Amino acid sequence: MAAEPGCLHELDHDVLWCYWCELPERGGIGIFNRSYYEEVLVVRVHRAILEAQKLPPECLPKKVFEQRLADIAHFEDCLTRQGTKVLKFFVNVSRDEQKRRFMERLNEPSRNWKFSSADVRERGHWDDYQAAYEQAIRATATPHAPWYVVPADNKWYLRLVMVTAVVQALEEMDLAYPRWSRRRSLRSRTPAICLNGSAERCATGSRFEGIDPGLACRAGC
């Protein structure tokens, strides 16, 4: 839960700018770990981060976080209407389990690298974070971009729920491999045929009608 302000380059843009830039292309899958929701969680708990975001005074009303939550909901609605499937997981670790894991990282040398003193400091804001989580989930849970609130004290159960949700979403999308047409097949065979023959034959042969002669020659030369 370490609270860190954005880099100077990000601070020169709006709060969603860097996430627009990192969205997966069509046919791809992207995972945002600690995503734009940090802007209504960490920033909400640590107001000093908000003050460093170079916003004009008139853009800092009392309900700035409510406005950001509305912007996030609209952002996810836009993604859905453009064909992106949005799944959101809140990994809900209890306070006692979090303490146990921190102590394990301290006591076992092989796990020391996982420990951060910043996590312990953030633990002191537990109640503030719980309130921020609740407000964020209530404001942005929609049928097209649902939240999965997953009890995470048992890692096997967490993984089972997350994998099941992802698999179900993929099945609902009814995905299929692209169909390979005869015309595409001919185009893909052209370079190999040109390598076995002459460039002139590729450029003038009737069997390559409809294929760019220049492309065929360049492939065979």
Give φ, ψ of 150 to 5 degrees: -115, 120
| pLDDT computed for residue 214 by the predictor | 46
DSSP bridge pairs for 8: none
2 part of a folded domain: no
13 part of a folded domain: yes
**CATH number (domain holding residue 150):** 3.40.50.300
Entry pTM = 0.74
Residues 58 and 159 in one domain: yes
Residues 103 and 205 in one domain: no
| pLDDT computed for residue 55 by the predictor | 82
1 part of a folded domain: no
Residues 62 and 109 in one domain: yes
Residues 149 and 212 in one domain: no
143 part of a folded domain: yes
Residues 92 and 30 in one domain: yes
Residues 107 and 211 in one domain: no
59-115: pLDDT as tens digits? 777 789 999 999 999 999 999 999 999 999 999 999 999 999 999 999 999 989 988
Tokens of 213: 């002669």
| pLDDT computed for residue 220 by the predictor | 37
177 part of a folded domain: no
Asked if residues 170 and 110 have their Cβ atoms less than 8 Å apart, the reply is no
| pLDDT computed for residue 79 by the predictor | 94
Tokens of 133: 């989580």
| pLDDT computed for residue 187 by the predictor | 66
Residues 155 and 194 in one domain: no
Indicate the number of domains in the chain: 2
Find the domain containing 187 and state its range: 182-220
38 part of a folded domain: yes
Q: Provide the strand spans (E) within the chain.
A: 88-92, 147-151
Which residues does the chain have with pLDDT short of 70?
A: 1-9, 181-221
